[in-house]
Chains A and B, each alone.
Chain A
């Protein structure tokens, strides 16, 4: 019955690799987000999608490419991973763009070595 789920929970990889994180929500929401939480626990919005369309890209390097195959999924693909990409990535969803309440996934801890 998980509302927002992410896979994998942990991801350890080497610099230069390409990896993907998947997110799915079963709430019937229209809007989905990706947030990055750095080593100091600071959370920052990366992207938001509404009905599969990108609406926000917060100065994220173009090595990060979100993809939304349908409203219930928002995946994050990262090319040429760097040490600084190590963080916890959270997916979230909300009813629509005017909704104020977001539901968060459990997070994916990415470690780049």
Chain B
């Protein structure tokens, strides 16, 4: 089984400042890693994913994440945030082989609050 820990339930950041949202995972098998964003009263939108290859992945809206296998982390970063980035961010994993059948395992989410 897999598990995901998002260390911060809430992260307040000033507009145009950089931000990092932390995610650690635990799994006995290889996994794929994802970040999803949920804007208020909306569904989930995929920000980015790590499947293989370069450990630095770039996503939509200027976000990027770095996979660190030794630290079992997949932290999300953005160099300069905007008010419109206020949302809930979810880190998720699924196992490498046939993971689609198991669905995604989500962390508890991090609420990113952008302050003007």
* Complex Cα spacing A50 to B102, Å: 11
Interface segment, B13-21, B39-47, B61-69, B77-85?
Answer: B39-47
For chain A, residues 41 to 74, give those with C-beta under 8 angstroms from any C-beta of chain B. 41-45, 48, 50, 55-56, 58
CB distance from B109 to the nearest CB of A (A): 5
**Which residue on A lies nearest to B97, using beta carbons?**
A98
* B100 adjacent to A42 (CB under 8 Å): no
Residues on A with beta carbons closer than 8 Å to the beta carbon of B49: 100-101
**Contact call B101/A107, Cβ cutoff below 8 A:** no
Measured CA separation A58–B104 after assembly (Å) = 12
Cβ contact of B100, chosen from A41, A43, A96, A106, cutoff 8 A: A96
Q: How far is the CB of B108 from chain A (nearest CB, A)?
A: 5
Given contacts A100-B49, A106-B42, contact A44 B98 (CB under 8 A): no
By a beta-carbon cutoff of 8 Å, the part of chain A in contact with chain B is 31, 33, 35, 40-45, 48, 50, 55-56, 58, 90, 92, 94-107
Given contacts A35-B104, A43-B90, A98-B98, 15 further A-B contacts (CB under 8 A): A41-B109, A43-B106, A45-B103, A48-B100, A48-B102, A58-B103, A90-B44, A97-B100, A98-B100, A100-B51, A100-B94, A100-B100, A102-B103, A103-B46, A105-B43
Taking beta carbons and an 8 Å cutoff, which residues of B are in contact with A?
32, 34, 36, 38, 42-46, 49, 51, 88, 90, 94, 97-106, 108-109
